[in-house]
A and B are shown apart, each in its own frame.
Chain A
Amino acid sequence: MSTAAAVKKPKISVPFDYSKYLRKGKLPHIWCPGCGHGIVLKSLLRAIEKSGLSKDDICMVSGIGCSSRTPGYVDFNTLHTLHGRALSYATGVKLAKPEMKVIVVTGDGDALAIGGNHFIHTCRRNIDMTILVYSNAIYGMTGGQFSPTTPSGSYSTTSRYGNIEPVFDCCELAKASGATFVARGTAYHVQELERIILESLKHKGTSVVEILDSCPVYYGRLNKMKSASQMMELIEKNGTVSVKQVDKLPPEKVQGKLLRGILHKEDRPEYCEEYQKLIDRVSGK
């Protein structure tokens, strides 16, 4: 898998100190060997460092599932809620305290199935929050059932004969629903992911970042993928194309692949700011 061409000059001489953002004594985390969630978390923490946000000002909200265990490890104001409902709790926190930076960590099942209604309406309101959808195409916490992002034809414990359902494109859904920042990254392209998350944190409005990562233990095993690395190679590295390159590549190299990078960005009035304007207009009347 390694190629000499991939070797670049060292850019970083001091490793990033994650302990600054982690709660003491919580590692090792609960995620399985080879699960991409830890990689995503690290990219997020590096992005937070670069954003300059203070730990007191961050509220991380999650629902239920593997990805939703993230808040337990990080030293922010953290809220681990109900399956699918993270965005609703997050809306309450954000509207009550607009000065806080709200980051929602959710999964493909949590955000797009049970939380689908909350997902589209949160995007529609354009309330300022960063939504990270860890998309590993499976319900890992319950042992490997298909989700709205499980590819048609693939196997899970509830699609033993191959999944007959089509998938949701999380990014298209977010964009169509009104999210003003939509991006896709992968756990393989770690530095790119860090940059994307940093941009999403800087954005004012609803930011959705779909992050492709792998569940080697449930998805991988049932779909004859031998290792975490093989999954990363197949799904994240070879299954995606950067938006920056897409125009330069021949169509056959783009077909069937998901786009990576910032896919959509626009300025639109943000919900909490609009609400404050409303208060200013009517207060005392």
Chain B
Amino acid sequence: MTEAAKKLPRIVIQEKLCKGCSICVDFCPTNVLEMRGPVVAVKNLEACTRCQLCDLRCPDFAIQVFD
């Protein structure tokens, strides 16, 4: 494993913008996210591969993944 992979990413969720559609949760390839009430939340950060699909498919500019 490389150093970069060991370091955990930072997933920033803007709860004010999240409309709770759950697209990011349903299509996350490694099940990092879950719905917590009306908005998305991180449940398993360790599994995140930084693929950015949650950001790319979020219709609401509400989620981003930083290194």
Contacts and interface: CB of A to CB of B under 8 A. Distances in A.
Direct contact of A and B (CB under 8 A): yes
B59 to A, nearest CB: 3
Q: Which of A13, A22, A187 has the most CB of B within 10 A?
A: A13
Contacts of A1: 26-27
Interface size class of A (residues with CB under 8 A): 35 or more
Contacts of A37: 59
Interface in A224-238: 227-229, 232
Given A1-B26, A10-B50, A15 B66 contact: yes
Interface string B10-36: 000000110111110011111100000
Interface in B30-62: 30-31, 49-53, 55-61
B27 A229 contact: yes
A8 B52 CA distance: 11
Interface size class of B (residues with CB under 8 A): 20 to 34
Nearest to A230: B26
Q: Is the interface of B mostly helix, strand, loop or mixed?
A: loop
B23 A28 contact: no
B64 A3 contact: no
A10 B46 CA distance: 14
Given A27-B17, A28-B60, A39-B57, A10 B49 contact: yes
A163 to B, nearest CB: 25
26 contacts: A1-B27, A2-B31, A4-B29, A7-B51, A8-B49, A8-B51, A10-B50, A11-B52, A12-B52, A13-B50, A13-B67, A14-B67, A27-B17, A28-B60, A33-B19, A33-B20, A34-B21, A35-B59, A37-B59, A38-B58, A38-B59, A38-B60, A39-B23, A39-B57, A227-B22, A229-B27
